[in-house]
Amino acid sequence: MPPNDLIPILDTTLASIKPGEPIHDDTLHQLRVLFPDSLVLAAFDIVDRKNVMKYTTPWGRVFYQVIGSTATYSVQPDLGHSPNVRFYCTCPAFSYTVLLAESYFMCKHILAVALAEQLNECINRPSDPNDIANLVVR
């Protein structure tokens, strides 16, 4: 199934997750159908460690950073309606497994951002234009 066909399934699965409530076995099963177990577990681990940072500019633009095991990565979970790439992460796994090998349609960092947003687990960081400039330069 092409990646763009999987996104509505993922959106429906994520919508079934409610903040403060246990995640149902059916939801976990659906995530495991879409992604390998290791990717799902790694994404939940990132969320559990509170490693998803959310920066909102004064003009309303949102940026995310995910603290990974070896580096901090910038994540864009929604690039709009680009037909080829709907989201982006600066991690090497995204470049290789998503863009080059096309074996997955997102990396653990993008899934972690989606899960953290749904669970209200993003760490909100105040930001001004200088903070955002530093994020973009990294």
pLDDT tens digit at each of 138 positions of the chain: 456 678 889 999 999 999 989 999 999 999 999 999 999 999 999 999 999 999 988 888 888 999 988 899 999 888 766 666 778 999 999 988 887 777 788 999 999 999 999 999 999 987 777 776 776 666
Distances (CA, A) of 25 to 28, 54, 96, 124: 5, 28, 30, 29
Domain ranges in the chain are: 3-137
Q: Which residues are CB-neighbours of 91 under 8 A, at least 6 positions away?
A: 68, 71, 73, 107, 109
Contact status, residue 104 vs residue 39, Cβ threshold 8 Å: yes
C-alpha span between 115 and 29 (Å, rounded): 15
- Residue 72, classed as helix, strand or coil, is strand
pTM for the predicted model, two decimal places = 0.88
